[in-house]
């Protein structure tokens, strides 16, 4: 069987980004790899259905997220609640909190944020997707994307403020 150069190029372009997104959702390397591979498997079977070739990246992220949701169906769904004005009062983050943040701490804290809020935050800050693209990927309205990112930032700041400083071994 000959290799498909178009498929190989797509994997080279998006594997890392999809893996990172999968890892941010699951917190597990194995699950992130499985989600990423399943996404490319689905692409190989269904790519002919894509009407707009410029939206491949969004399609891949949407597919990965849908596969993740299939895994998590037993979880309670996130209620759609409008963001209130008090949510704009972000907690104060001191310089020592910022100084003790490392990649593992950030991943641990991200893992404590509900998936419904974590996914939009990761897609916005780590994958550089626009609010509209995030809405398309997650199949939620633009306003919901905005409120979930705002709430996720508040929760992230609260959790980082509560994180204990690492001690030298």
In the predicted structure, residue 2 carries a pLDDT above the cut 90:
no
Correct CATH for 85-162 of 1.10.3720.10, 1.10.10.10, 3.40.50.2300, 1.10.150.120: 1.10.10.10
Nearest to 108 by CA among 162, 68, 66: 162
pLDDT reported for residue 75: 47
Question: Is the Cβ–Cβ distance between 98 and 156 less than 8 Å?
Answer: no
Mean pLDDT confidence for 73-90: 50
More confident residue, 57 or 73: 57
Q: Where are the domains of the chain?
A: 5-71, 85-162
In the predicted structure, residue 9 carries a pLDDT above the cut 70:
yes
**Could you report the per-residue pLDDT of 15-52, keeping only the tens digit for each?**
999 999 999 888 889 889 999 999 999 998 888 888 88
**Could you report the per-residue pLDDT of 115-130, keeping only the tens digit for each?**
889 889 888 888 888 8
Question: Is the Cβ–Cβ distance between 154 and 90 less than 8 Å?
Answer: yes
Task: Classify domain 5-71 by CATH architecture.
Answer: Orthogonal Bundle (1.10)
More confident residue, 52 or 104: 52
In the predicted structure, residue 135 carries a pLDDT above the cut 80:
yes
Angle CA 121–78–88, to nearest 5:
50
Contacts of 156 (CB under 8 A, 6+ apart): 109, 110, 113, 121
In the predicted structure, residue 94 carries a pLDDT above the cut 80:
no
In the predicted structure, residue 80 carries a pLDDT above the cut 50:
no
Distance between CA atoms of 76 and 85, rounded to whole angstroms? Answer: 26
Mean pLDDT estimate for the chain: 79
Output the furthest CA–CA distance in the chain (Å, rounded). Answer: 60
């Amino acid at each position: 069987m000959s290799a498909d150069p178009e498929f190989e190029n797509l994997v080279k372009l998006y594997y890392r980004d999809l893996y990172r997104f999968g890892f941010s959702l699951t917190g597990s390397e194995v699950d992130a790899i499985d989600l990423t591979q399943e996404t490319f498997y689905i692409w190989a079977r269904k790519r002919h259905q894509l009407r707009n070739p410029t939206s491949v990246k969004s399609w891949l992220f949407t597919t990965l997220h849908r596969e993740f949701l299939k895994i998590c169906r037993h979880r309670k769904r996130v209620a759609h609640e409008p963001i209130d004005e008090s949510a704009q009062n972000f907690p104060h983050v001191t310089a020592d909190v910022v100084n003790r943040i490392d990649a593992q701490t950030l991943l641990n804290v991200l893992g404590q944020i509900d998936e419904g809020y974590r996914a939009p935050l990761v897609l916005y800050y780590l994958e550089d997707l626009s609010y509209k693209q995030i809405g398309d990927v997650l199949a939620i309205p633009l306003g919901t994307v905005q409120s979930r990112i705002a709430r996720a930032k508040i929760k992230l700041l609260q959790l980082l403020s509560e994180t204990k400083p690492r001690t030298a071994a």
